[in-house]
Structure 1
Amino acid sequence: MRIDVLLSGFAPFDGAAVNESWEAARGAAPLLREVGLAVETLELPVEFGEGGRLLAAAVRQHVPRLVIATGLAAGRTAITPERVAINVRDARIPDNAGASPVDAPVVPDGPAGRFSTLPIKAMTAALAADGIPAAVSQTAGTYVCNDVFYLLQHLLATDASLTGTRGGFVHVPAADAVDSETAARALARMTDVALRTEADAAVAGGAEH
C-alpha cells in the first residue's frame, strides 16, 4: 500500500548517545499522523552504502509520495534543507562499520550531482514565518549524509516505478542549537509544505561561500 511520507534519521555515531536526526524524524511522525497522513519512519545505520541501500528498499516497499531523509549537522544553528548531493565519498572519520573511503564515487559513472526534488525554499520560508531558524544549504558534506542523499536522488531519478515520488535531505543541528521538540515540529511543517507545494518559491536562497 502506498503511503504519504517516509522519514529517515540516523543512528548515533562517533561516540554520541543519540542522533538528533532520528529524534526529529520519530518526533515528526505522530504530528503528521494526527492530520491523517500515512507515515513510516526508518533509522539508518551510519554506514556508507548500507544506509542508502536500506532507504532504497523502504522506498520501493512503501512507494511514498514524499521521502525526507535527515541527518545531523553539528555546528549549524538552523534547520537546513539541502540543495544538491555530490557523487563523492570522502570520510573525515570512519563510519560505524569502520569504512573510511577517500575520493570514491557514490555511484560509479553517475552524474557529478543530484538535486533535491523538494521545494526547499518554500520549506525554509515556512519555518522562518514560524520563527524557527532555517536556511537552504548548498552542501551536504562528503560523509554518510551526502551518501544517503545521493543514493536516494539517484534512485528516484532512475527507477521508473517511483516517478511520482519526490525526495530530498534535511540537516538538523545539535540539540544545543535547536531542541528536539522544535526540530520535530520543523520537520513536520516542512513535510506539510512539501506535500502541498509543486513549484518551489522563487526567492533567493543562495550563498556567497
Structure 2
Amino acid sequence: MTAPRLLLCGFGSFPAAPLNPSAAVIATLAREAWAPPGAEVDYLTLPVQWQGAAETILRQVQDRPADGVLVVGVAVEAETFRVETQGRNCASRDRPDQAGRVWGSPLVADAGEEVIAATAPCQAMASALETEGLPVALSEDAGDYLCNFTLYRLLHAKAAPRVGFLHVPQARECAAAAAFDLAQIRQAVTAAAAAFCAELTRPVAEPHTA
C-alpha cells in the first residue's frame, strides 16, 4: 500500500505579520524532511497574494497529487490555536495583500456555495493539540483575508480528498508580547499534521454545503 501524502503549507510575510511563524515552522520542518511514521509530507511556502496563494497549491497538486492538504496561517491577535472547520465565500475588498493588491469582489467565487465544510479530520487535529497541552478551539470563521480565501478556494476546487486549515498565534520570536514561542508553534503543527496523516487512509465523508 502506498504511503499517504500530505501537502503542508505555510504563508510568507504580509503587512500585519512581517515575520510569519507559519512560514518559519514550515521551513524548518522542510529542511528536516519531517514526516510522521507511515506518511509522506511535501512542503510549500505560499505568497500572501489574492492571486497566487491558492494557485501555488493547485499547481503543486496537479504535478504531485496529495491525499490531503493542510494550510497553516497566523492569526496575529489570537491567544489560542484554531482548527478551521469551514471556508466561507466572502473576502475583504479593502485589505491589500503583500503585493499591495486588493480583491475586487466580496466573494471568493461568484458561483460558489456560501459555506463549504473542511474535509480535514478537524476533531482529530484539535484532540491532538489538546493532548499536547496546547489551547485549541474548533472555529467556524477563518476571517475575510487570505486564510479563509485560500481554504475556500481549495475546497471549492477539490484540490485534494481532504483539505484543512490550522490557525496559529503569533510567536515570541516574531513579536515580543506573543504568548507562544516557535517551539510551541512547531509542536502544534506537527501534532495536527500527524493526526491528519493518521486519518488519510480512512474514507472521507461527503462535505456539506450551505
Query: What is the TM-score normalised by the length of structure 1?
Result: 0.83
- Relative to its length, the structure with more helix (as a share) is 1
Change beyond 3 A, Cα 1:91–1:23:
farther
Paired letter, 1:169: F
Deviation, 1:184, is 1.4
Residue in structure 1 matched with residue 5 of structure 2 by the alignment = 4
Residue correspondences, number: 194
Residue in structure 2 matched with residue 167 of structure 1 by the alignment = 163
- In structure 2, the gaps of 5 or more residues are 172-177, 205-210
Change beyond 3 A, Cα 1:92–1:170:
farther
Residue in structure 2 matched with residue 17 of structure 1 by the alignment = 18
Paired letter, 1:99: R
Q: Distance in 1 between matches of 2:135 and 2:141?
A: 18
Q: Contact conserved, 2:87 with 2:142, CA < 8 A, in 1?
A: yes
Q: Contact conserved, 2:3 with 2:39, CA < 8 A, in 1?
A: no
Deviation, 1:90, is 0.9
Q: Distance in 2 between matches of 1:44 and 1:97?
A: 13
Change beyond 3 A, Cα 1:199–1:137:
farther
Q: 5 Å matches for 1:1-209?
A: 4-14=5-15, 16-29=17-30, 30=32, 32-33=34-35, 35=37, 37-101=39-103, 103-156=105-158, 162=160, 165-175=161-171, 176-197=178-199, 198=202
Change beyond 3 A, Cα 1:199–1:34:
closer
Query: What is the TM-score normalised by the length of structure 2?
Result: 0.82
Name the SS of the counterpart of 1:193 in structure 2: helix
Deviation, 1:26, is 2.8
Residue in structure 2 matched with residue 203 of structure 1 by the alignment = none
Q: Distance in 1 between matches of 2:38 and 2:121?
A: 22
Change beyond 3 A, Cα 1:64–1:199:
closer
Deviation, 1:178, is 2.2
Q: Distance in 2 between matches of 1:133 and 1:26?
A: 24
Runs of 4+ in 1 over 4 A off after TM superposition: none
Deviation, 1:16, is 4.0
Deviations 1:4-59 (A, max 9, x none): 11111111111643211112323444373373532211111111131111111112
- In structure 1, the gaps of 5 or more residues are 201-209
RMSD: 2.4
Q: Contact conserved, 1:152 with 1:168, CA < 8 A, in 2?
A: no
Deviation, 1:193, is 1.1
Q: Distance in 2 between matches of 1:66 and 1:117?
A: 9
Change beyond 3 A, Cα 1:82–1:129:
same
Name the SS of the counterpart of 1:33 in structure 2: coil
Change beyond 3 A, Cα 1:134–1:92:
farther
